[in-house]
Chains A and B, each alone.
Chain A
Amino acid sequence: MQVTCNDRDPIFEDGTLAEWAALEAHAATCPLCAEEVRAWKSLSVAAGELRDYSDSPSFWPRIERALAEEAARNPRRAERQGWFSFLPSLSPAWPAALAGALVLILILTLSAAWIYLRRPVDGRGTEDQSLLKSKALKEVESAETAYQRSIDKLAAEAKPQLESPATPLLADYHEKLLVLDSAIAELRAQAGMNPSNAQLRYQLLAMYEEKQHALEEVLETKR
């Protein structure tokens, strides 16, 4: 195999053993390439100076203690994870977030049932303050739409970071936001069926606030 000075960089980048042998043969008669090859190899040798595998005797006991404490602190973790083992395993935050969403849905269902059971039976009675009047409802919906639009802008800004998360923390945020979006969609569907229900609106507002905070924290990591 014959190589020239022009082949030097491609061989440095991704050369095979045979190509390296050919380059060294060429370097034997080319002082410039000989110098370059020597300098290139010396970087690998210099890298050895950054290798320090000396052990610290107290280090493993420290890690072991932390692992044991963590295991003792979360004895139910494995059990909880087992419950959600049918789900795709994304991160440790995913089952917790899903459990939170399920609890939220349960609370909403119970609240709806409670409101239904407490409604005035004779059709007159006192006005239920948890129901919004049509004017107030329009205001709420208008404010909600504006708020949602603002959050969408935040979401668009955070999208590149979330779509290819550079850290486990960002991946967790991504999953949390997916769960929040799912809970928001659920609440919006319920609010659509029962637009005058103020409780649902409060729950929806809380979800939006949570989403806003999560997005702000994601954007904070960028700065």
Chain B
Amino acid sequence: MLLEILTPDKTLYAGEVKGVQLPGTGGSFELKENHAPIVSSLTAGTVTARTAEGDKTFEITGGVVEMLANKVVVLA
């Protein structure tokens, strides 16, 4: 699935991932391939992208994530 992490300044990450772990407002959770469409708010914490070359982490201060048709967009 495709992951995009966007900030107002730049695109932090864009690429293929196997899964992504997110700091949800109600607790940490992970989105995998073929997850149902979801919109969730995020708190400050670490976003972990499970890429083919291992995990990549990004610090965010809060935001929103939307997943639709195997495309995840994180607004940090």
Q: Do A and B bind each other?
A: no
Which A residues are closer than 8 A to B by beta carbons?
Answer: none
